[in-house]
Structure 1
Amino acid sequence: MGFGENISEEFKSRNFSIYGQWTGIVCVFLCIALGIANIFHLGLLILFSIICLVCGFIIIFIEIPLLLRICPTSPKFDGFIRRFETNYMRAAIYLLMSVIQWISISVDVSSLIAAAVVLLIAACFYALAGIKGQAFQGSKTLGGQGVAQMII
C-alpha cells in the first residue's frame, strides 16, 4: 500500500484520534514557526513564544512515537510523553497548550492566536474520539504500531 493510499485509508476510518494526530502534526509546524516568528517581540510575548516553541517539540514526541525509540531521551521525559497515550490525556494537553496561547492575547495580539486555534481543534478531535468511545489509533504513516515494530 502506498503512502497516499495509507493516509486515505486512515481518514476513511472516521476515527477522530487519527484526525487529532494529523492536526497535531500541523500544530508542530505552526508552533515552531510562530514561536520563532514571535520571539523577536519585546516584552512578555517572548515568554509565550518560547512556550509555543517548547509545545511544538513536545507535540513531535507525542504524535510521532517512533522518535522516542530513535532519539536519545531521558527515562523521565519518556515517562512524561507516555502519559499522553489516551484520547482524553491528549485532549487535555492540547487544551492546556491552547489556553496558554489564548492567554498571550492579553499581552499582545499576535500570530500566536493561529497556534491557539489549531491546538484547540486538535483538542476537540481527541475529546470527540474519547466521547465516542473510539480507541486511540495511531497513524501508521507517523510511526504507529506497524512502523515501530519494524525497528525493533
Structure 2
Amino acid sequence: MAFTDYIKFSGFNEDMKSRNFSLYGQWIGILLVFLCLALGIANIFHFSVVIVFAIIAIVQAPILAFVEIPFLLKIFRVPDWFILGIQKIDSNWMRVVFYALNAVIQWLSLTVQATSLLALAILFTIAAACYGIAAATHQDFHKSNVVASVDVGELPIDAQIRDAL
C-alpha cells in the first residue's frame, strides 16, 4: 500500500483548489505554529538581544495555534478574555492586522542580527498578504474543513470535556 492510502489528503487538496486566499493564509499559519516553536528554540541559544525575539517566537506559536485551530479553545482551559480576543480576529481584515503585527516583530529581529527568524518574518508577511488578498477581493472568510471540521459551538461545555479526559 502506498503512503497516501493511509493518510487522506483530500481535504487539504480541496482547500488548495478552492482559490480562497483565507484558506491559504490559514495553512501558512498552521505551518508557522511549528516553525515559530522550532526556530524560537533554535535561536534562544544566541548570546545577544536575539534571545528576546526567540522568546517572542516561542510565545507566538501557541497563540497562532489557538487562532488557526479553534477547537483548541475548547480543549484547553483559557480565560474568557483570551477567547473573546481570538474570536475578534475571525475576519480577513483582522487577520491581516494580526499577521502584519507578528511580521513586523520578526522583521525587527533583523536589526539585531540576521538569523533564521527571517523565515518567520517572510512567512508572516505572506500569510498577511493571503488574508489581504482575500479581503480585497471580497472572498468569504473560511476555515479549512480539515482543521475546523468540528463545530465549536456544538461541543459540550469545558467542564464536561475535562471530566471526560
TM-score (structure 1 length as normaliser): 0.93
State the match for 2:73 in structure 1.
68
Q: What percentage of aligned pairs have identical amino acids?
A: 44
TM-superposed CA distance for 1:82, in Å, is 1.2
Q: Match for 2:112 among 102, 107, 126? A: 107
* Equivalent runs, 1:1-150 vs 2, <5 Å: 3-142=8-147, 144=148, 146-148=149-151
CA distance in structure 1 between the partners assigned to 2:8 and 2:155 by the alignment: 18
In structure 2, what is the Cα distance between the partners aligned to 1:18 and 1:63?
Answer: 10
Report if the CA contact (8 A) 1:23-1:118 is conserved: yes
Segments of 5+ residues of structure 2 without an aligned counterpart are 1-6, 157-165
| Runs of 4+ with deviation above 2 angstroms | 148-152
**Cα offset, 1:81, TM superposition:** 1.1
Q: Equivalents in 1 of 2:86, 2:155: separation in Å?
A: 19
**One-letter amino acid of the counterpart of residue 127, structure 2:** A
Give the CA RMSD over aligned residues.
Answer: 1.4
Secondary structure of 2:151's aligned partner = helix
Residue 3 of structure 1 aligns to a residue whose secondary structure is coil
Which consecutive unaligned segments of at least 5 residues does structure 1 have?
Answer: none
CA apart distance, 1:3:
3.4
Deviations 1:66-122 (A, max 9, x none): 001111111011111112100111111111111111110111111100110011110
Range that drifts further, 119-128 or 5-14: 5-14
In structure 1, C-alpha distance between the alignment counterparts of 2:90 and 2:8, rounded to whole Å: 24
Alignment size in residue pairs: 149
Q: Rg bigger for which structure?
A: 2
Name the SS of the counterpart of 1:147 in structure 2. coil
